[in-house]
Structure formats: structure tokens, C-alpha cells
Structure 1
Amino acid sequence: MVNFNVRFPDDLHARVRAQAAADRRSINSEILYLIEVGLAGVSAKAGSPGGDPADAAPFRRKPDSSSA
């Protein structure tokens, strides 16, 4: 198993923590579950089991408030 560190914004961490509690899972297990569900959705949209990374949705950044 790979050890991977990631930084979460406080509000996202709180949402994941609350969902993990509701699902009676650890935060780590909840994150793994959510990633698996998300990747399954991406693969289904791509039309093939592994999906083509080129077909994946682009990374969504925060909107730039200066261009509003």
C-alpha cells in the first residue's frame, strides 16, 4: 500500500469527516470509497473499463475573481 499525504481545505475535511461518521467508516476509508466511486463514474463516461485519460474531465480550478 502506498502512503500518500494530501492537504485538504478545512471545510472539505469537515464534510468528509461528517460523511465518514454517517457511513460509520474512518476518514481514510471514506476518502478511498469516494475516490473509487468517482473513478468508476469517470470510467463509465469514457466508455471503456480503464477509460482514456485524454477523455477525462479537465481539472476544475477555482474561478478567477479578477476576471468577473
Structure 2
Amino acid sequence: MCQHQPHCPPADAPDREAARLIAFHPEQGWWLLCNGVVVFDDTGELLPDGRSIPARRSPCERAA
């Protein structure tokens, strides 16, 4: 997916969130990274292969 240099970390890498932002929809609570990962504002993630990564914090903690 990544066409720029240096390449973004792949979706299965621990630092996958370091990939470049290519789409941002704060009104819907998500953004898309260059490596195909969808990150949600509650810190949950959806990987390109369909696996989900649970949120590391709850929306209540975010508002505090």
C-alpha cells in the first residue's frame, strides 16, 4: 500500500500507528492510515485482514 519513502510500518507491526494518515473523519470518530489500518477515536483498531484490536481506553476515560 505504502508508496512513499521511508515506507510506513506494516499493519501487523507493533508501531503500526506510526504510518501516515491518509483519511481523517473526526465527525465519525475514525481515521485511515497508509498501511490500511483504521484507527478509532477510542483507540480501537481494525486491521486490513479484518482482525480487530480492542480499545486501550474507554470513551469515559478519554473525556476525563
Q: TM-score, normalised by structure 2?
A: 0.26
Larger C-alpha radius of gyration, 1 or 2? 1
More relative contact order in 1 or in 2 (CA 8 Å, sep 6+)? 2
